Chain A
Amino acid sequence: MLLDHEQVRTLLPDYLNGSLGHEARTSMAEHLAACEECSAELAVLEELAGVNVPDPGDLFWAALPKRIVAQVERPVPWWKGLLAAIMRPAPLAAVAALLLAVMLVPFATHYVGPPDRKEGGILSLEQIDLPKQQVQEIARTVATSDQEVSALLDTDENSTSEYQQVIASLSADELDELVQELQKTGNSGGDA
Protein backbone atom coordinates (compact mmCIF):
# COMPACT_ATOMS: atom_id res chain seq x y z
CA MET A 1 0.00 0.00 0.00
CA LEU A 2 1.41 3.34 -1.04
CA LEU A 3 0.46 6.29 1.13
CA ASP A 4 0.82 9.94 0.27
CA HIS A 5 1.90 12.59 2.77
CA GLU A 6 -1.59 13.60 3.67
CA GLN A 7 -2.74 10.05 4.29
CA VAL A 8 0.31 9.41 6.44
CA ARG A 9 -0.30 12.53 8.51
CA THR A 10 -3.97 11.72 8.92
CA LEU A 11 -3.07 8.27 10.21
CA LEU A 12 -0.28 9.34 12.56
CA PRO A 13 -2.43 9.24 15.73
CA ASP A 14 -3.59 5.73 14.84
CA TYR A 15 0.02 4.76 14.11
CA LEU A 16 1.09 6.00 17.52
CA ASN A 17 -1.68 4.30 19.46
CA GLY A 18 -1.11 1.02 17.68
CA SER A 19 -4.54 0.71 16.12
CA LEU A 20 -3.32 0.17 12.55
CA GLY A 21 -3.15 -3.21 10.89
CA HIS A 22 0.14 -4.78 9.93
CA GLU A 23 0.15 -3.64 6.31
CA ALA A 24 -0.71 -0.04 7.08
CA ARG A 25 1.84 0.06 9.88
CA THR A 26 4.60 -1.15 7.58
CA SER A 27 3.71 1.40 4.90
CA MET A 28 3.68 4.15 7.50
CA ALA A 29 7.09 3.14 8.86
CA GLU A 30 8.57 3.07 5.36
CA HIS A 31 7.17 6.48 4.50
CA LEU A 32 8.29 8.01 7.79
CA ALA A 33 11.82 6.68 7.40
CA ALA A 34 12.11 8.52 4.10
CA CYS A 35 10.08 11.67 4.75
CA GLU A 36 11.36 14.43 6.96
CA GLU A 37 8.16 16.48 6.95
CA CYS A 38 5.92 13.66 8.11
CA SER A 39 8.51 12.62 10.72
CA ALA A 40 8.50 16.16 12.08
CA GLU A 41 4.76 15.89 12.51
CA LEU A 42 5.16 12.56 14.26
CA ALA A 43 7.57 14.25 16.67
CA VAL A 44 4.97 16.90 17.44
CA LEU A 45 2.44 14.21 18.32
CA GLU A 46 4.97 12.34 20.44
CA GLU A 47 5.65 15.53 22.29
CA LEU A 48 1.92 16.02 22.86
CA ALA A 49 1.61 12.48 24.14
CA GLY A 50 4.10 13.30 26.85
CA VAL A 51 1.83 15.94 28.34
CA ASN A 52 0.00 14.21 31.14
CA VAL A 53 -3.07 15.10 33.16
CA PRO A 54 -3.08 15.22 36.97
CA ASP A 55 -4.69 12.19 38.56
CA PRO A 56 -7.51 13.01 41.01
CA GLY A 57 -6.64 9.85 42.93
CA ASP A 58 -8.07 6.39 43.59
CA LEU A 59 -10.61 7.65 46.06
CA PHE A 60 -12.22 9.81 43.41
CA TRP A 61 -12.32 6.99 40.86
CA ALA A 62 -13.79 4.57 43.36
CA ALA A 63 -16.48 6.99 44.52
CA LEU A 64 -17.57 8.47 41.20
CA PRO A 65 -19.53 5.51 39.79
CA LYS A 66 -21.51 5.11 43.01
CA ARG A 67 -22.12 8.84 43.29
CA ILE A 68 -23.47 8.99 39.78
CA VAL A 69 -25.76 6.02 40.20
CA ALA A 70 -27.05 7.47 43.46
CA GLN A 71 -27.73 10.90 41.94
CA VAL A 72 -29.24 9.94 38.66
CA GLU A 73 -32.99 9.85 38.42
CA ARG A 74 -33.41 6.48 36.89
CA PRO A 75 -34.30 6.88 33.26
CA VAL A 76 -37.44 5.10 32.23
CA PRO A 77 -36.88 3.27 29.00
CA TRP A 78 -39.46 4.39 26.49
CA TRP A 79 -40.62 0.84 25.88
CA LYS A 80 -41.72 0.49 29.49
CA GLY A 81 -44.15 3.34 29.13
CA LEU A 82 -45.32 1.80 25.91
CA LEU A 83 -45.77 -1.58 27.53
CA ALA A 84 -47.80 -0.04 30.29
CA ALA A 85 -49.91 1.79 27.78
CA ILE A 86 -50.69 -1.32 25.81
CA MET A 87 -52.01 -3.07 28.89
CA ARG A 88 -53.88 -0.06 30.25
CA PRO A 89 -57.49 0.69 30.81
CA ALA A 90 -58.70 2.89 28.00
CA PRO A 91 -58.57 6.38 29.58
CA LEU A 92 -54.96 5.83 30.49
CA ALA A 93 -53.94 5.37 26.88
CA ALA A 94 -53.76 9.05 26.24
CA VAL A 95 -51.90 9.68 29.47
CA ALA A 96 -49.37 6.99 28.63
CA ALA A 97 -48.79 8.31 25.16
CA LEU A 98 -48.35 11.85 26.36
CA LEU A 99 -46.18 10.72 29.18
CA LEU A 100 -44.10 8.92 26.66
CA ALA A 101 -43.84 12.11 24.68
CA VAL A 102 -42.74 14.13 27.68
CA MET A 103 -40.23 11.50 28.70
CA LEU A 104 -38.71 11.24 25.29
CA VAL A 105 -38.14 14.91 24.81
CA PRO A 106 -35.08 15.34 27.07
CA PHE A 107 -33.40 12.49 25.25
CA ALA A 108 -34.29 13.74 21.85
CA THR A 109 -33.12 17.30 22.14
CA HIS A 110 -29.40 16.83 22.48
CA TYR A 111 -29.08 16.57 26.22
CA VAL A 112 -29.92 20.14 27.11
CA GLY A 113 -31.68 18.88 30.21
CA PRO A 114 -35.36 18.61 30.90
CA PRO A 115 -37.74 20.32 28.51
CA ASP A 116 -38.55 23.86 29.41
CA ARG A 117 -42.09 23.47 30.55
CA LYS A 118 -42.65 27.18 31.01
CA GLU A 119 -42.56 27.94 27.34
CA GLY A 120 -45.48 26.34 25.69
CA GLY A 121 -44.78 23.25 27.79
CA ILE A 122 -47.38 21.13 26.07
CA LEU A 123 -45.78 18.44 24.04
CA SER A 124 -47.04 15.97 21.56
CA LEU A 125 -45.48 13.01 19.84
CA GLU A 126 -45.08 15.07 16.72
CA GLN A 127 -42.60 17.37 18.42
CA ILE A 128 -40.20 14.61 19.25
CA ASP A 129 -37.07 14.31 17.22
CA LEU A 130 -37.75 10.81 15.97
CA PRO A 131 -38.23 9.57 12.45
CA LYS A 132 -41.80 10.36 11.45
CA GLN A 133 -42.55 6.74 10.72
CA GLN A 134 -41.47 5.71 14.19
CA VAL A 135 -43.60 8.42 15.76
CA GLN A 136 -46.62 7.20 13.84
CA GLU A 137 -45.91 3.64 14.84
CA ILE A 138 -45.75 4.60 18.49
CA ALA A 139 -48.95 6.57 18.20
CA ARG A 140 -50.70 3.65 16.54
CA THR A 141 -49.52 1.16 19.14
CA VAL A 142 -50.55 3.32 22.01
CA ALA A 143 -53.84 4.62 20.75
CA THR A 144 -56.97 2.54 20.65
CA SER A 145 -58.70 4.21 17.74
CA ASP A 146 -57.87 6.15 14.59
CA GLN A 147 -59.28 9.17 16.33
CA GLU A 148 -56.73 8.87 19.08
CA VAL A 149 -53.93 8.44 16.57
CA SER A 150 -54.76 11.71 14.89
CA ALA A 151 -55.19 13.39 18.26
CA LEU A 152 -51.73 12.26 19.28
CA LEU A 153 -50.14 13.39 16.06
CA ASP A 154 -51.96 16.67 16.12
CA THR A 155 -50.02 19.68 17.37
CA ASP A 156 -53.03 21.93 17.09
CA GLU A 157 -53.67 24.12 20.15
CA ASN A 158 -57.30 23.04 20.22
CA SER A 159 -56.42 19.43 20.76
CA THR A 160 -54.64 20.26 23.99
CA SER A 161 -56.29 18.08 26.56
CA GLU A 162 -56.50 18.27 30.28
CA TYR A 163 -54.07 15.36 30.42
CA GLN A 164 -51.50 17.27 28.44
CA GLN A 165 -51.71 20.23 30.77
CA VAL A 166 -51.32 18.09 33.84
CA ILE A 167 -48.44 16.07 32.50
CA ALA A 168 -46.59 19.07 31.19
CA SER A 169 -46.61 20.57 34.66
CA LEU A 170 -45.16 17.52 36.42
CA SER A 171 -41.66 17.35 37.81
CA ALA A 172 -39.32 14.52 36.87
CA ASP A 173 -40.05 12.77 40.17
CA GLU A 174 -43.76 13.03 39.67
CA LEU A 175 -43.40 11.68 36.16
CA ASP A 176 -41.51 8.71 37.54
CA GLU A 177 -44.27 8.06 40.01
CA LEU A 178 -46.89 8.27 37.35
CA VAL A 179 -44.99 5.79 35.22
CA GLN A 180 -44.87 3.38 38.13
CA GLU A 181 -48.59 3.82 38.65
CA LEU A 182 -49.21 3.10 35.01
CA GLN A 183 -47.12 0.01 35.19
CA LYS A 184 -48.98 -1.25 38.24
CA THR A 185 -52.27 -0.67 36.51
CA GLY A 186 -50.95 -2.39 33.43
CA ASN A 187 -49.74 -5.43 35.35
CA SER A 188 -52.98 -5.88 37.21
CA GLY A 189 -54.86 -6.06 33.96
CA GLY A 190 -56.46 -2.63 34.13
CA ASP A 191 -60.13 -3.14 34.79
CA ALA A 192 -61.67 0.12 33.73
Chain B
Amino acid sequence: MTDDIALIQRYLAGEENAAEELVMRYQKQLYAFLYRMTRDMEEAKDLTQKTFLKAMQGLGGFRGDASFKTWLYQIALNTGLNHLKESRREMFDIDETALGSNGDPLDGLIEEERKQRIRNALHRLPERQRTAVVLRAYDGLSCQETAKVMGCSEGAVKAHYHLGVKKLRKYMEECGYAARP
Protein backbone atom coordinates (compact mmCIF):
# COMPACT_ATOMS: atom_id res chain seq x y z
CA MET B 1 0.00 0.00 0.00
CA THR B 2 1.31 3.42 -0.96
CA ASP B 3 2.06 5.38 2.16
CA ASP B 4 0.26 8.60 3.00
CA ILE B 5 3.25 10.83 2.44
CA ALA B 6 3.73 9.49 -1.08
CA LEU B 7 0.06 10.17 -1.83
CA ILE B 8 0.33 13.70 -0.44
CA GLN B 9 3.34 14.38 -2.64
CA ARG B 10 1.55 13.05 -5.68
CA TYR B 11 -1.45 15.24 -4.96
CA LEU B 12 0.68 18.32 -4.50
CA ALA B 13 2.34 17.51 -7.80
CA GLY B 14 -1.07 17.70 -9.46
CA GLU B 15 -2.54 14.20 -9.27
CA GLU B 16 -6.13 14.48 -8.10
CA ASN B 17 -6.56 10.72 -7.82
CA ALA B 18 -4.08 10.72 -4.99
CA ALA B 19 -6.31 13.04 -2.97
CA GLU B 20 -9.32 10.84 -3.58
CA GLU B 21 -7.32 7.88 -2.39
CA LEU B 22 -6.38 9.73 0.81
CA VAL B 23 -10.01 10.59 1.50
CA MET B 24 -11.15 7.05 0.82
CA ARG B 25 -8.54 5.74 3.17
CA TYR B 26 -9.75 7.72 6.19
CA GLN B 27 -13.33 8.80 5.51
CA LYS B 28 -15.06 6.00 7.40
CA GLN B 29 -13.03 6.25 10.57
CA LEU B 30 -13.25 10.04 10.67
CA TYR B 31 -16.98 9.91 10.14
CA ALA B 32 -17.34 7.37 12.95
CA PHE B 33 -15.24 9.56 15.24
CA LEU B 34 -17.35 12.63 14.42
CA TYR B 35 -20.53 10.67 14.85
CA ARG B 36 -19.39 9.67 18.32
CA MET B 37 -18.83 13.32 19.11
CA THR B 38 -22.14 14.59 17.78
CA ARG B 39 -24.45 11.55 17.78
CA ASP B 40 -26.04 12.95 14.66
CA MET B 41 -25.53 11.35 11.27
CA GLU B 42 -26.16 14.45 9.16
CA GLU B 43 -23.86 16.56 11.28
CA ALA B 44 -21.19 13.89 11.26
CA LYS B 45 -21.37 13.67 7.45
CA ASP B 46 -21.08 17.40 7.15
CA LEU B 47 -18.20 17.62 9.61
CA THR B 48 -16.36 14.81 7.85
CA GLN B 49 -16.49 16.80 4.65
CA LYS B 50 -15.37 19.98 6.42
CA THR B 51 -12.47 18.14 8.03
CA PHE B 52 -11.21 16.83 4.72
CA LEU B 53 -11.64 20.18 3.01
CA LYS B 54 -9.55 21.87 5.68
CA ALA B 55 -6.99 19.10 5.55
CA MET B 56 -6.66 19.11 1.78
CA GLN B 57 -6.52 22.88 1.70
CA GLY B 58 -3.73 22.83 4.23
CA LEU B 59 -1.75 19.98 2.75
CA GLY B 60 0.85 22.32 1.29
CA GLY B 61 1.78 23.14 4.87
CA PHE B 62 1.69 19.60 6.24
CA ARG B 63 5.18 19.21 7.59
CA GLY B 64 5.08 15.55 8.40
CA ASP B 65 6.17 15.91 12.02
CA ALA B 66 3.05 13.96 12.99
CA SER B 67 1.52 11.19 10.91
CA PHE B 68 -1.11 12.23 8.40
CA LYS B 69 -3.68 10.23 10.37
CA THR B 70 -2.90 12.03 13.62
CA TRP B 71 -3.04 15.34 11.79
CA LEU B 72 -6.47 14.49 10.35
CA TYR B 73 -7.77 13.59 13.79
CA GLN B 74 -6.51 16.90 15.15
CA ILE B 75 -8.47 18.74 12.48
CA ALA B 76 -11.53 16.56 13.05
CA LEU B 77 -11.44 17.16 16.80
CA ASN B 78 -11.11 20.92 16.33
CA THR B 79 -13.83 20.98 13.72
CA GLY B 80 -16.16 18.91 15.88
CA LEU B 81 -15.55 20.94 19.03
CA ASN B 82 -16.04 24.23 17.17
CA HIS B 83 -19.26 22.96 15.71
CA LEU B 84 -20.58 21.93 19.10
CA LYS B 85 -19.56 25.26 20.54
CA GLU B 86 -21.28 27.16 17.74
CA SER B 87 -24.44 25.17 18.08
CA ARG B 88 -24.17 25.76 21.82
CA ARG B 89 -24.30 22.12 22.62
CA GLU B 90 -22.40 20.31 25.25
CA MET B 91 -20.27 17.44 24.16
CA PHE B 92 -22.12 15.36 26.68
CA ASP B 93 -25.62 16.72 26.51
CA ILE B 94 -27.90 13.91 27.32
CA ASP B 95 -31.41 12.71 27.44
CA GLU B 96 -31.49 11.73 31.12
CA THR B 97 -34.58 9.60 30.73
CA ALA B 98 -32.77 7.36 28.30
CA LEU B 99 -30.19 6.49 30.91
CA GLY B 100 -32.60 4.33 32.81
CA SER B 101 -32.64 5.74 36.31
CA ASN B 102 -35.25 3.18 37.28
CA GLY B 103 -32.57 0.54 37.50
CA ASP B 104 -33.79 -1.87 34.85
CA PRO B 105 -31.06 -4.37 34.39
CA LEU B 106 -29.42 -3.81 31.02
CA ASP B 107 -29.54 -7.52 30.39
CA GLY B 108 -33.30 -7.41 30.28
CA LEU B 109 -33.37 -4.78 27.56
CA ILE B 110 -33.52 -5.28 23.89
CA GLU B 111 -30.19 -4.88 22.17
CA GLU B 112 -30.83 -1.42 20.72
CA GLU B 113 -31.87 0.03 24.04
CA ARG B 114 -28.85 -1.44 25.72
CA LYS B 115 -26.62 0.21 23.14
CA GLN B 116 -28.45 3.49 23.50
CA ARG B 117 -27.79 3.52 27.22
CA ILE B 118 -24.13 2.86 26.76
CA ARG B 119 -23.91 5.58 24.14
CA ASN B 120 -25.54 7.94 26.60
CA ALA B 121 -23.20 6.89 29.38
CA LEU B 122 -20.30 7.79 27.12
CA HIS B 123 -21.86 11.19 26.54
CA ARG B 124 -22.08 11.90 30.23
CA LEU B 125 -18.33 12.00 30.45
CA PRO B 126 -16.60 15.36 30.50
CA GLU B 127 -15.26 16.28 27.09
CA ARG B 128 -11.58 15.48 27.63
CA GLN B 129 -12.30 12.12 29.21
CA ARG B 130 -14.69 11.19 26.48
CA THR B 131 -12.30 12.21 23.75
CA ALA B 132 -9.52 10.12 25.31
CA VAL B 133 -11.78 7.08 25.67
CA VAL B 134 -13.13 7.37 22.13
CA LEU B 135 -9.73 7.86 20.53
CA ARG B 136 -8.20 4.98 22.48
CA ALA B 137 -11.08 2.50 22.53
CA TYR B 138 -12.73 3.14 19.17
CA ASP B 139 -10.14 4.66 16.94
CA GLY B 140 -7.28 2.50 18.12
CA LEU B 141 -4.92 5.42 18.56
CA SER B 142 -1.96 4.81 20.84
CA CYS B 143 -1.49 6.93 23.96
CA GLN B 144 1.19 8.85 22.09
CA GLU B 145 -1.06 9.54 19.08
CA THR B 146 -3.97 10.48 21.33
CA ALA B 147 -1.74 12.94 23.16
CA LYS B 148 -0.77 14.56 19.85
CA VAL B 149 -4.38 14.83 18.74
CA MET B 150 -5.54 16.26 22.07
CA GLY B 151 -2.54 18.50 22.44
CA CYS B 152 -1.56 17.23 25.87
CA SER B 153 0.95 14.89 27.48
CA GLU B 154 0.71 11.10 27.39
CA GLY B 155 0.33 11.17 31.16
CA ALA B 156 -2.71 13.40 30.81
CA VAL B 157 -4.20 11.08 28.20
CA LYS B 158 -3.81 8.11 30.55
CA ALA B 159 -5.40 10.05 33.39
CA HIS B 160 -8.37 11.18 31.27
CA TYR B 161 -8.77 7.69 29.87
CA HIS B 162 -8.67 5.92 33.24
CA LEU B 163 -11.09 8.34 34.84
CA GLY B 164 -13.40 8.04 31.86
CA VAL B 165 -13.51 4.26 31.87
CA LYS B 166 -13.95 4.20 35.63
CA LYS B 167 -16.96 6.50 35.36
CA LEU B 168 -18.42 4.52 32.49
CA ARG B 169 -18.22 1.42 34.58
CA LYS B 170 -19.91 3.18 37.46
CA TYR B 171 -22.71 4.53 35.25
CA MET B 172 -23.26 1.12 33.77
CA GLU B 173 -23.36 -0.52 37.15
CA GLU B 174 -25.75 2.13 38.42
CA CYS B 175 -28.24 1.25 35.75
CA GLY B 176 -27.99 -2.44 36.43
CA TYR B 177 -25.23 -3.33 34.07
CA ALA B 178 -23.93 -6.85 34.27
CA ALA B 179 -21.50 -8.51 31.92
CA ARG B 180 -23.22 -10.63 29.34
CA PRO B 181 -22.79 -14.36 29.68
Q: Which residues of A contact B (CB under 8 A)?
A: 6, 9-10, 13-14, 16-17, 19, 40-41, 43-45, 47-54, 56, 60-61, 64-69, 71-73, 75-78, 103-104, 106-108, 110-111, 113
- Interface size, chain B (Cβ < 8 Å): 52
Which residues in window 54-78 of B have CB below 8 A to A? 54-62, 74-75, 78
A/B pair count, beta carbons within 8 Å: 121
Dominant SS among interface residues on chain B: helix
B94 within 8 A of A: no
B156 within 8 A of A: no
1/0 contact string of B119-151 vs chain A (CB within 8 Å): 100100000000001001110101100000000
Contact B56 A61 (CB under 8 A): no
1/0 contact string of B27-58 vs chain A (CB within 8 Å): 11001100110000100110011001111111
Contact B23 A51 (CB under 8 A): no
Contact B19 A64 (CB under 8 A): no
Chain B residues whose C-beta falls within 8 Å of the C-beta of A103 in the assembled complex: 60
Chain A residues whose C-beta falls within 8 Å of the C-beta of B54 in the assembled complex: 111, 113
Contact B172 A44 (CB under 8 A): yes
Q: How far is the CA of A104 from the CA of B118 in the complex (A)?
A: 43
User: Could you list some 29 contacts between A and B, CB below 8 A?
Assistant: A13-B137, A14-B142, A19-B140, A44-B168, A47-B118, A47-B177, A48-B118, A48-B122, A48-B133, A48-B138, A50-B115, A54-B41, A56-B31, A64-B23, A64-B27, A64-B52, A65-B19, A67-B49, A69-B16, A69-B19, A69-B20, A69-B56, A72-B53, A75-B57, A77-B12, A77-B59, A107-B61, A111-B54, A111-B74
